[in-house]
Each structure stands twice: as structure tokens, then as C-alpha cells.
């Protein structure tokens, strides 16, 4: 069976109340639940991790190399700053798709730079929780 990690970065634990005009009304638990349902319909197993800590996200990526076939990753604020997360994505040898709820290209200049995207399979941004769903479909369809 295919196993995928859904990895959420800092402040995404606040979804539901965090700037809902930008990030929507769904909580992280609700997003994870929707993804779990979409995945199980395709016979795919997912497990979700959220952390506000860069090191814990690195650990989750390294662990995923041993037990997952791909990663759906919203690095949140670390997208724009983290060499350590970029290096982890480059090191693990399984496909990673970078996702964002908001359209990072329609926001502040600093959000247009991603250190992570160049080492990912691809990037999906701006579709709310559907960004994760589209990434799930891409990883499944790609095989």
C-alpha cells in the first residue's frame, strides 16, 4: 500500500482562527480528515504531522524516507528561509510536493521566494485546502 506523509509547518495549528480571510475557516484537523477520506478512497494511507519547530520538521522528513512513498509539505513560514528543510527534502530521495493554502505570488514580495520548491517535484499554491488535495492526486497519479 502507498503511504504518504502530510507535513504542516509553523502556525498551521492555528488554522480556523488564523487570518481566515487568507487561510480559510477549516481547522488543521478538518483538513487532515478530508485528506484521510480522499486518500482511503484511493487505497492510500496518510499520516499527518504538524510542528512549529524546524528541527522536528527535519526529523519528520528523515523518518518519512524510511516509511513513506512521498510527502505533501506545507513548510509555511520556513518556506522562505530554511536551508535545513531544503537540504532535508533534497536528501530523502522520495517525491515531495510543496503546498500553500494562499497564493504566495499574490502576497508580499518575500513570500515569492521558496528555498524548498527547487528540490521538490512541484508546487501547488492558492487553492486553500484543495492545494493539499491536488498534491495528493498528483502523487497518486504519478505512481
Q: Distance between CA atoms of 78 and 53, rounded to whole angstroms? A: 10
Has 100 been annotated as catalytic? yes
The full length of the chain comes to 143
Smallest distance, ligand DQA to C-beta of residue 111, A: 4
Pick out the residues of the known binding site.
74, 80, 87, 101-102, 111
Q: What is the DSSP letter of 72?
A: E
Smallest distance, ligand DQA to C-beta of residue 79, A: 6
Smallest distance, ligand DQA to C-beta of residue 104, A: 5
SS3 assignment, position 3: strand
Q: Which is nearer to ligand DQA, 34 or 111 (CB)?
A: 111
Pick out the residues of the known binding site for substrate.
74, 80, 87, 101-102, 111
Q: Which is nearer to ligand DQA, 16 or 77 (CB)?
A: 77
Q: Number of C-alpha atoms within 13 angstroms, CB side, residue 33?
A: 5
Residues that bind ligand DQA (CB under 6 A): 11, 74, 76-77, 79, 100-102, 104, 111
Catalytic residue among 8, 23, 78, 132: 23
The catalytic residue positions are: 23, 100
Amino acid at each position: 500500500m502507498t503511504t504518504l506523509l502530510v507535513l504542516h509547518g509553523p502556525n498551521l495549528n492555528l488554522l480556523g482562527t488564523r487570518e481566515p480571510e487568507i487561510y480559510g475557516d477549516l481547522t488543521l484537523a478538518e483538513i487532515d480528515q478530508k485528506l484521510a477520506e480522499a486518500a482511503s478512497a484511493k487505497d492510500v494511507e496518510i499520516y499527518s504531522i504538524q510542528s512549529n519547530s524546524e528541527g522536528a520538521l527535519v526529523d519528520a522528513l528523515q523518518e518519512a524516507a524510511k516509511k513513506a512513498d512521498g510527502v505533501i509539505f506545507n513548510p509555511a513560514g520556513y518556506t522562505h528561509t530554511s536551508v535545513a528543510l531544503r537540504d532535508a527534502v533534497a536528501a530523502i530521495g522520495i517525491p515531495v510536493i510543496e503546498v500553500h493554502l494562499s497564493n504566495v505570488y499574490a502576497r508580499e514580495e518575500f513570500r515569492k521566494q521558496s528555498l524548498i520548491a527547487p528540490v521538490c517535484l512541484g508546487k501547488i499554491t492558492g487553492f486553500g485546502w484543495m492545494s493539499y488535495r491536488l498534491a495528493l492526486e498528483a502523487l497518486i497519479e504519478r505512481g
